Amino acid sequence: MMRNKVILITGANGEVGHGLINQLSAIKDMPPVMVLDIRGLDKSMESKVYETIVGDILDNGLLETLVSEYEIVTIFHLAALLSTHSEFRPEAAHRVNVQGTVNLLQLAVEQSRISGRPVKFIFPSSVAVYGMPDIATKNAAPPVKEDEFTIPTTMYGINKLYGEHTGRYYTHHYRQLADVPQRSGVDFRSLRFPGLISATTMPTGGTSDYAPEMLHAAAKGEPYACFVRPDTAIPFMAMPDAIRALLEIADAPRERLTRTVYNVTSFSLPAGEIADIVRSAFPSAQITFEPHPQRQGIVDSWCAQMDDSAAQRDWGWKPEYDLNRAFHEYLIPTIRKQYT
């Protein structure tokens, strides 16, 4: 039976999913997009996808039916519980972020077995995989490479780090003790994102959300109490760059890739400086700082800057939105228009 070729996006109804669907639907000669999300897909997105499946990545029966009906060529596995949510519900986070990821990897193995072709598996990881031991080390560290300081303190960070390693296992070492050596057929590629800031969607449940929340609140004329100290610095990236990075890593020739996980980043600045930029664009913005001890602790454990030289070298990664462009050409004008 000929099966229709599709790209599968899990967690497609989230912030990154919406951006990815918009981009993919604009590219010619792409296989159609099938989405799977426990919440279903916003009406505004429906016309841009081929099929919407409302379901749980923990539902193995459902996943099995997908490979029996379609040929999945690429999986963008975005479904996850984000960092703040994961601290409130660590066991649920483990199920979704770890078991859910293994379920999708198994689906990729099964798909490759049927089609005889490798299945690309794109996995967004996070700056949350880092665990800086203390603030002094964080502030003194040069931009952090992929394999440094990976001792995360959050369930989310631990789950993401495990996802990265599991993907590497499926790509290079799957069933190494099996009598007949077999390759999994999984071509896993992961990007470690910094905090993402979108002009069009509001984030929920992330611990870098103070930056977008500050901007959106100011544009709406609402007061905002930032949950970290003004001197708190982490890396960020504008959403269009994050989407482009996902498409570029998916497209990169396998032989150019020397790793299965790559840092990608754009700019890094303290929360107080974000507040200054927001106030200069929206002079009536009412921003206060009321650090939340636990959320502050989480952000303090993330590195201030990530080193993305491996991505630059191997597949030509370069952000298009530096600090200035991100705020003055993308975020501020788009957000201003949205609320006026």
Ligand X SMILES: NC(=O)c1ccc[n+]([C@@H]2O[C@H](COP(=O)([O-])OP(=O)(O)OC[C@H]3O[C@@H](n4cnc5c(N)ncnc54)[C@H](O)[C@@H]3O)[C@@H](O)[C@H]2O)c1
The residues carrying an active-site annotation are 156
Binding segment toward ligand X, per CB under 6 A, in 35-43, 135-143, 217-225, 258-266: 35-43
User: Are the C-beta atoms of 85 and 14 separated by less than 8 Å?
Assistant: no
Applying CB under 6 A, which of residues 15, 87, 241, 308 lies at the interface with ligand X?
15
**Phi/psi of residue 197, each to 5°?**
-125, 120
Binding mask 141-180 for ligand X (x = CB under 6 A): ----------------------------------------
Question: Is residue 205 near ligand X by the rule CB under 6 A?
Answer: yes
Question: Is residue 42 near ligand X by the rule CB under 6 A?
Answer: no
Considering only residues 250 through 289, tell me which ones interact with ligand X, judged by CB under 6 A.
none
- The closest of 151, 185, 157 to 171, measured between CA atoms, is 185
Binding segment toward ligand X, per CB under 6 A, in 6-14, 102-110, 219-227, 310-318: 6-14
Count Cβ atoms below 10 Å from residue 30 Cβ, excluding itself.
16
Applying CB under 6 A, which of residues 11, 157, 291, 319 lies at the interface with ligand X?
11
**In this structure, are strands 195-197 and 186-193 parallel, antiparallel, or unpaired?**
unpaired
Applying CB under 6 A, which of residues 24, 79, 233, 287 lies at the interface with ligand X?
79
Count Cβ atoms below 10 Å from residue 155 Cβ, excluding itself.
23
**Between 94 and 223, whose beta carbon lies closer to ligand X?**
94
Binding site for ligand X (CB under 6 A): 10-11, 13-17, 37-39, 56-58, 78-80, 82, 96, 100, 124, 126, 193, 195-196, 203-206, 208
